[in-house]
Structure 1
């Protein structure tokens, strides 16, 4: 959609500004790094066996897919995503022949029942139009006894890496654009989705990660690459963007060397398909 300049206090609707991930390079610099930080902890907690068949639903640029290869030596990984730009970036990764990336819909995965041992969603489920159906679909494509798991930023609990910026945007009259299903990112809401998909052995955990930037300018440049922020900022008057930047500078404390550290928190869940 075309974005017009916004005035303070003007409500931004999802029909006005659509969250689009059509820049693989920008996503990799911003959210790809955060995804790997949380993904490493998530995979250690998941602790699957090696040599399994995986499906990475909403694989994006392949940042998390790459972690699967590095950590658990899978026999096969299928990456599915609805963004051609993201998939193009993912295909540039030297991941070998066991990984295949293809266009696909999380609500109708292009695979038969019980094809995989593990189905995962990394920072995706709050973008799925029908999260409950998405979990059921993941469960469909794993074998009985297979793992269905996900991790997602805790939007309700203020865990998104850009929560501080979202807060400052709202404070100056520009509501931030959030994923369409932020309400399902709490642990209890995730447990309900997994229970309703008839999954067994459900377990959850919180994941806290930190990212340090060389200075505030690196933080600002990197953070404004995020689609949820970039599309709002592009619609703002330059003077309001300047105000936001100064408010953010005031919120973030630098250490003695000028480094700025940001903290984020994700919620993770896993379950097993009934045998």
Structure 2
């Protein structure tokens, strides 16, 4: 799910932090793809299984294979997805252990920006997709559309400009329409289309927003846990002051992802 310098290990902590919002995006993504039933699927960077589970529930695949580099995430997926159509394997998106043109549909959710070489990964997705099959992916819009993180990093940088080095909006330039479209085109896919997907992310209260940042999963929580107590408290208090509130005390935010799709070409 992520390169070695990231902390992506505990499935439950990831679910509380980002994973719980992944299902809404996965559902909208699959509606956009509108794949007929009975296809063979591959989910690359499947993580804790949000996209795999949603595909099983809504797309009626004949079979679906999930791969990820995190054994802990795969263990979480296996424990929560009990379906004979689904199998999970430890594998790298940059070197998929499958024959050419093996799957009808190859997807990747919220993972490509964490791969060290996204171009190599996109080429692998194209390689294992059958001619005329669909290869598609989506990533969070970290720069502007992921409000929970935009508020976080803006507050963190206000208190300590060094935090800007970890801001996903700066670190992941791939997470925009033009780079995604170019990535698919360079992987020699046809009929390339990019689509925005926006979903509500409503936190019950401030604790529901803040506590997942204490789980250590990902750059932002990692930054929180690196702070001494007083600095961590200052960040918490600034976020508490800046975040919007509903009349019931909830925090109504939104999250946007960018999705890309293309059709695989015949290969010699």
In structure 1, the partner of 2:41 is 54
Distance (Å, rounded) in 2 between the aligned partners of 1:160 and 1:192: 26
Q: Which of the numbers 122, 142, 149 marks the counterpart of 2:136?
A: 149
In structure 2, the partner of 1:124 is 111
In structure 1, the partner of 2:249 is 258
Q: Which of the numbers 210, 215, 218 marks the counterpart of 2:205?
A: 215
Distance (Å, rounded) in 2 between the aligned partners of 1:160 and 1:259: 14
TM-score (norm 1): 0.90
The question of whether the paired residues in 1 share the 8 Å contact of 2:145 and 2:257 is answered with no
Residue 274 of structure 1 pairs with residue 265 of structure 2: yes
- Paired residues, what number? 260
> Compared with structure 1, are the counterparts of its residues 150 and 163 closer, same or farther at alpha carbon in structure 2 (3 Å cutoff)?
same
The question of whether the paired residues in 1 share the 8 Å contact of 2:143 and 2:150 is answered with no
Superposed displacement of residue 236, structure 1: 0.6
In structure 2, the partner of 1:140 is 127
> Compared with structure 1, are the counterparts of its residues 147 and 181 closer, same or farther at alpha carbon in structure 2 (3 Å cutoff)?
farther
TM-score (norm 2): 0.92
How big is each residue's C-alpha offset from its partner over 1:75-111, in whole Å with a ceiling of 9 and x where there is no partner? 0111000001111111102331111111000000010
Query: Unmatched 5+ residue regions in structure 2?
Result: none
How big is each residue's C-alpha offset from its partner over 1:196-248, in whole Å with a ceiling of 9 and x where there is no partner? 01100111111111111221111111344342222111111111111111111
Query: Unmatched 5+ residue regions in structure 1?
Result: 1-14
Residue 78 of structure 1 pairs with residue 65 of structure 2: yes
In structure 2, the partner of 1:230 is 221
Distance (Å, rounded) in 1 between the aligned partners of 2:188 and 2:144: 26
Superposed displacement of residue 155, structure 1: 2.4
Q: Which has the larger share of helix? A: 2
How big is each residue's C-alpha offset from its partner over 1:4-57, in whole Å with a ceiling of 9 and x where there is no partner? xxxxxxxxxxx9x92121001111122111111111111111111111111000
> Compared with structure 1, are the counterparts of its residues 161 and 148 closer, same or farther at alpha carbon in structure 2 (3 Å cutoff)?
farther
Could you say what secondary structure the match of 1:85 adopts? helix
